[in-house]
Structure formats: structure tokens, C-alpha cells
Amino acid sequence: MAPKGFYPLLVAQALLLISTALAGAFAVIYMVKGGDSPVSVSAIYILSFIVPSALCLAGARMPVWNSRRWMIPSLSLFAVYFLAVLLLRGWPRILVAGLASGVSLYMFWVPYNILIVRLTKRRNRGELMGTVFLLFPLVTAIFPLVGSALIVFSGYELLFGVASLVLFAGSLYLALGRQVAHGMVELTPRYREVGKDVLSGFFLQGTHEGIVLIVIPLLSYELAKNEVAVGGLFSLFALLAGVGVLLAGKASDRLGKRRLFVVAGAFASVPLLVLAGTSFDVTRFGIFQSLAAFTLPLAPVFLFVMSIDRAEGVLEGAIVAREALLNSGRILGGIVAILSILYANYHVALVSAALPLLAIGAIHVRPEPE
């Protein structure tokens, strides 16, 4: 049974994820269709990764702050990202969209993860964190199709407007929801307690994510040719992902093993990503990327759980350290994506996203005690 306050927090996360699933990937397609180069689109992502990395370091100078006070405006600020994509062009779009996205996601995810982890115990942490990550595929299985339908029905203006309204509703929910867990959180990163192997895993996870966040929407659109088909692809990718995470979470709590699932998820994803990246028709690409979606969440979930198991007494610092390393890795991944697109193509970029996962598996395959 989930602890009190757990599900109200999930509602806030769900509203953020709904807006992202509705319009996140389509924002990339909208900018490219409007004449922006993939490099300028990638620059928005890289800026949005630089900002939270810097804020994680600056957070040590602001050691305690109120979670609700920061989470309430964070969702409304993310709506500014969608509005900037819709209304601005050139450098103003890059700066406003990148800064709004980076600041808002830091303000939401750092306190959110701290509050969620405070509600878990070692005996149920794998299952509860699996439930948290289950929201990603559940939402992504439905709302990309809704987003593509909005585009066909009325256009991108309606899509970004609806996504922004969902975010404003999230801010209102956080402001008025009495059962939403909140409290003071400490922002000083704690690296030593987490361990070099897990910190390396976070950086490599971020590198992988920095590549795929940029490349998957672009490659999907290149192969599928229209927004409706892209929405269907993203829904297909999500269908299996949540099942694997939830089952693995329960198994890891029962066995007391986390590293096993990090290694299994990382190594199993590598050949599937390579096969997806070397696919030049939409059916083959959709099949392999969907299979990869089943295994890809395992390493991130259990790296996160390992870090909290190790740093039980300083969990806030462990989470801030995770965010700092994740976003630093995403900066590198964004740069790799740009270079791959400039000097090769989207397919090479996606194949390169398998290399950080291979490194995660290699680092954690050593039989060390948990």
C-alpha cells in the first residue's frame, strides 16, 4: 500500500507528463517544419540542460527551501517554453525556450523527487519508484495520439494552447491541493555517499537521453512523414515500457538486488537501439524502438534506487547530485547529437545513443555488494 501523500504527488507529475506527451516531440517537428535547422533546435535542448546543471551547483549556496513555493510556478513556467516555441523565432526563441524549460524542470523535479523518495522505505522502494516511472509510458501511450489529433483538427496553435492550459492547471492543483506532500528541502549535492559507479551511471544515462530527446522526434518524423503517424509511433513505443519497470521493481525489492536490473536493462537495450537506428522503414523502426522502450527504463530506475539505498541519511543531497550529473551528461549528449546530424545523419546519431548504455552495463557488471 502506498504511503499517504504519494498519489497526490503523482497527479502533479501526471499533469506535467501529459503536457510533454501532448506537445514535447511535436515542438521539435514544428520548429523544423517552420525552417529551423536541427542544430538550432538542439541548441534549445542544450541550454535547457546547462541551466539545471548550473542551478544544482548554485543550490549549495541556498541550502534549504520550501518545495511548494518552487513547484507551484514551475509548471506555469514550462508553459512559457511552449509559447516561446509558438510565438518567437531565431535567437529569442532559443534563449526564452531554453531558459524557461531548464529553470522550470529544475524547480519541479528536484523537490518532487525528494518528496517522493521521502515516502519510500528500502523494502518497498523498487516497487514505488517503478510506479512513479510507470506514469511515463502510461501517459505516453495515449497523449501523443491526442496531440496529433489536435494538430490535424486545428493546428499547432491549439496543441500548444492545450498543453499550456494543462500546465497552468498543474500549478493551480499544487497551490490548492491540501494532500500534496510538501516541506523544506536541502540542496547541497552529496557525491561521496552515492559512489563513483552510480554517479558515472547518471552521467552516461544523461548522455544517452541528450541524444535521443533530440533525435527520436526528428527520425520518427523523417520516416513517418506526418504528425498522425508520429503520434502513433510514440504511443507504440510506450505500451510495453511500464510493465517491465513495475515487475522488475517488485522483483528487486524481493531479491534485494538493484545492480542486476541496471546491467540487464542497459545491455538488453544496446542491440535494440542499434537495430532501430539502422532501420530505414517506419515499420522496422517502430518495432525495434518499441522493444527498446521495454528495456530502456530499467537502468535509470535502478540507478536512482541504488543511489537512495546508499545515501539514505542524505537523500536530498543524493538527488541533487543525480540531477547535476544527469544534466551534465545531457549537455554532452546534445553535442553528440548535433555533430552526428551535421556530419552524418539521424540514424548514426541514434546508434551512438547505444554507446553510453553499453558503458553503464560494463561499469556495473562487476559483482559488488549492494
Indicate which CATH number applies to the domain containing 318. Answer: 1.20.1250.20
CA distance 141 to 184: 34
Half-sphere exposure of 173 (CA within 13 A, CB side): 20
Domain assignment present for 369: no
Domain assignment present for 184: yes
Domain assignment present for 15: yes
Q: Which three cell numbers stand for residue 203?
A: 552521467
**Which residue in 158, 219, 221, 168 sits closest to 22, CA to CA?**
158
Domain assignment present for 97: yes
Domain assignment present for 306: yes
The pLDDT of residue 161 is above 60: yes
Total tally of structural domains belonging to the chain: 1
CA distance 117 to 122: 10
Give residue 252's pLDDT. Answer: 67
CA distance 196 to 260: 17
Domain assignment present for 1: no
CA distance 146 to 132: 22
- What is the phi/psi pair of residue 343, to 5°? -105, -5
Q: Which three cell numbers stand for residue 49?
A: 540542460
Residue 259 or 253, more confident: 259
Domain assignment present for 325: yes
Residue 50 or 316, more confident: 50
Mean model confidence pLDDT for the chain: 87
H-helix or E-strand spanning residue 322? helix 315-343
Domain assignment present for 175: yes
Categorize the per-residue pLDDT at 230 as very low, low, confident or very high, splitting at 50, 70 and 90. confident
Range of the domain at 136: 6-364
Give residue 117's pLDDT. Answer: 85
CA distance 264 to 295: 8
